[in-house]
Amino acid sequence: MEKIEIFTPEPEKALVILQDAIAWQRRILSQSLARTRERVQELVAHLGVDPDLLLAGAMAHPEQDFLADGIICGLYELGHEVYELPYIKHLHGEIDRGYRLDDGQPGLTAPPGYMSTPLPANEQPLARILDEWPYDLVILTSGRTHARQALNILMAERGLKPGSFPLVLCDGEDGPGIRWDLVEQFQPQIYFKRELLRSGTVSVREYWHGIPVMPMPFGAFVRSYPHVDDQQKNYDLFLAIGNTHPCRRKLVEIFRDFMGEFRTAIHTNIPVAGLTCGMLSWGEYITALAKSRITASIRGWGRDTLRTWESLSFATCVLWADPGIYIPHPFEDMKHVVQFREHCVNLPGIIRDLMAHPEVAEGVAAAGKAHVREFHTTSARVQYLLDVWHEHRDTGSIALESYGLQ
């Protein structure tokens, strides 16, 4: 049995230092989403399958940290025995009313919709976490302040020097920037990047600063999806989308223009003529999504959006604006998704064609759902991370083709 200190999975034990992923009250000034500095929590995981993990992470946004939460969920879902410290209450169906933001201001933490099926209660003391050292792998799930501090404390307590223990870094931030300062500070063996651009200066086929950079997008939180018959459809077209990028307005306008022609439902906070602003609860949104023939996903604050993985989790044909990032086990146009351009010029014609040929939409919907359920759930994402790390550890290389990466 190996031990892994996480920031990476495939453990027998996992120590996780993770941001307390919380339902933050957004602090918005004007139209911009002010990034509030988050407070990091230590999460420890004692896994039951191979190594132990020390996972350190922080929120990627003022609200929940989808990437970090997904990694923790995946560890539980794969059957690992997990220890958390501090205890991340919102992952276990609890509210942390004593939570403080990095600036000392109160921040309410509550279970997000995608955690409506909470993880089992499993609070453990810090002393036990430290007693379990050494671990086989450490996963730093964020490069933010508190995660860095947590890892520094752990290294100081155990007398660890950078590069002297197995470590991978996960970067769930919006944008293509690579934190080379963290690479130099902690010397991880692998850098997992959520928004790794295919057209960027960093390629999966090149080592940068001596380490491989691998894609790590969000995954689907299927554990909490309601049991819905997604073969019975209430809508032809369904769109639920927030006002997080200018290109989304055009998408809403196009769906609006089909309201008199097809059974169309639109829920948005984007002010568009002819529509009443309003959003659904998470449960209502997921159910409506599953009961729809066609929906669409386009970038928001980041290129990778949780909506993509939610939409593709059901027998719903997804119109997808390619975000331009590396995705392991990628989607194929007209097989798993139907691609459209981000400016939406070709979208009306695509919608008309699919409505005229429902068998095509149904085939794409079925294949997309099967592909996500196999390769892009939270548990599959964690297994991918572990497979990549083990391959690199054992062989010194990564067979990119086995993950569909070119």
Q: What is the pLDDT of residue 1?
A: 38
Query: Which residue, of 199, 215, 231, is where some domain finishes?
Result: 215
Any domain includes 330: yes
Enclosing domain of residue 235: 223-375
Separation between Cα atoms, residue 140 and residue 7, nearest integer Å: 4
Any domain includes 279: yes
Shared domain for 211 and 245, answered yes or no, is no
Confidence of residue 128 (pLDDT cuts 50, 70, 90): confident
**What's the full length of the chain, in residues?**
406
Percentage of residues in the chain with pLDDT exceeding 90?
Answer: 58
Answer for the pair 297, 311: CB distance below 8 angstroms, yes or no: yes
Provide CB contacts within 8 A for 374, sequence distance 6+.
329, 380
pLDDT above 50 (res 78): yes
Shared domain for 124 and 259, answered yes or no, is no
Domain count, the chain: 2
Separation between Cα atoms, residue 116 and residue 224, nearest integer Å: 6
pLDDT above 70 (res 41): no
Nearest to 55 by CA among 121, 132, 195, 150: 150
Any domain includes 331: yes
Shared domain for 273 and 255, answered yes or no, is yes
Q: What is the pLDDT of residue 255?
A: 98
- Of 269 and 107, the structure prediction assigns the larger pLDDT to 269
- Of 144 and 272, the structure prediction assigns the larger pLDDT to 272
Taking residues 173-200, what's their average pLDDT? 93
DSSP assignment letter at 109: B
Any domain includes 397: no
Provide CB contacts within 8 A for 346, sequence distance 6+.
340
Taking residues 361-370, what's their average pLDDT? 98
pLDDT above 70 (res 264): yes
Shared domain for 228 and 211, answered yes or no, is no
Distance of CA 344 to the CA centre of its chain: 25
Q: What is the pLDDT of residue 80?
A: 76
pLDDT above 50 (res 349): yes
Lowest mean pLDDT among 99-108, 225-234, 240-249: 99-108
Shared domain for 198 and 287, answered yes or no, is no
Taking residues 70-93, what's their average pLDDT? 80
Query: Which residue, of 192, 215, 238, is where some domain finishes?
Result: 215
- Of 32 and 319, the structure prediction assigns the larger pLDDT to 319
Shared domain for 8 and 120, answered yes or no, is yes
DSSP element (H, E) containing 146: helix 145-158
Shared domain for 258 and 326, answered yes or no, is yes
Any domain includes 30: yes
Shared domain for 228 and 182, answered yes or no, is no
Confidence of residue 65 (pLDDT cuts 50, 70, 90): confident
Shared domain for 112 and 11, answered yes or no, is yes
Any domain includes 404: no
Helix (H, G, I), strand (E, B) or coil at 250: helix
pLDDT above 90 (res 81): no
- CB atoms < 10 A from the CB of 273, how many? 6
| Predicted TM-score (pTM) of this structure | 0.84
pLDDT above 50 (res 18): no
Separation between Cα atoms, residue 10 and residue 217, nearest integer Å: 18
Confidence of residue 335 (pLDDT cuts 50, 70, 90): very high
Query: Which residue, of 161, 182, 215, is where some domain finishes?
Result: 215
Q: Report residue 404 as tokens.
A: 């569909």
Answer for the pair 316, 338: CB distance below 8 angstroms, yes or no: no
Confidence of residue 303 (pLDDT cuts 50, 70, 90): very high
Q: What is the pLDDT of residue 108?
A: 67
Confidence of residue 131 (pLDDT cuts 50, 70, 90): confident
Q: What is the pLDDT of residue 96?
A: 78
Answer for the pair 316, 293: CB distance below 8 angstroms, yes or no: yes
Shared domain for 274 and 346, answered yes or no, is yes
- CB atoms < 10 A from the CB of 202, how many? 15
Q: Strand pairing of 211-215 and 190-193?
A: parallel
Any domain includes 396: no
DSSP element (H, E) containing 282: helix 282-290
Tell me the CATH number at 274.
Answer: 3.40.50.2000
CA-CA-CA-CA torsion sign (208, 210, 215, 219): negative
Confidence of residue 190 (pLDDT cuts 50, 70, 90): very high
Shared domain for 146 and 261, answered yes or no, is no
Confidence of residue 86 (pLDDT cuts 50, 70, 90): low
Q: What is the pLDDT of residue 155?
A: 87
Provide CB contacts within 8 A for 157, sequence distance 6+.
130
Q: What is the pLDDT of residue 82?
A: 72
What is the chain's mean pLDDT, rounded?
82
Separation between Cα atoms, residue 172 and residue 349, nearest integer Å: 35
- Of 52 and 130, the structure prediction assigns the larger pLDDT to 130
Confidence of residue 137 (pLDDT cuts 50, 70, 90): confident
Any domain includes 10: yes
Taking residues 255-259, what's their average pLDDT? 98
Q: What is the pLDDT of residue 153?
A: 80
Shared domain for 36 and 185, answered yes or no, is yes
Separation between Cα atoms, residue 84 and residue 213, nearest integer Å: 28
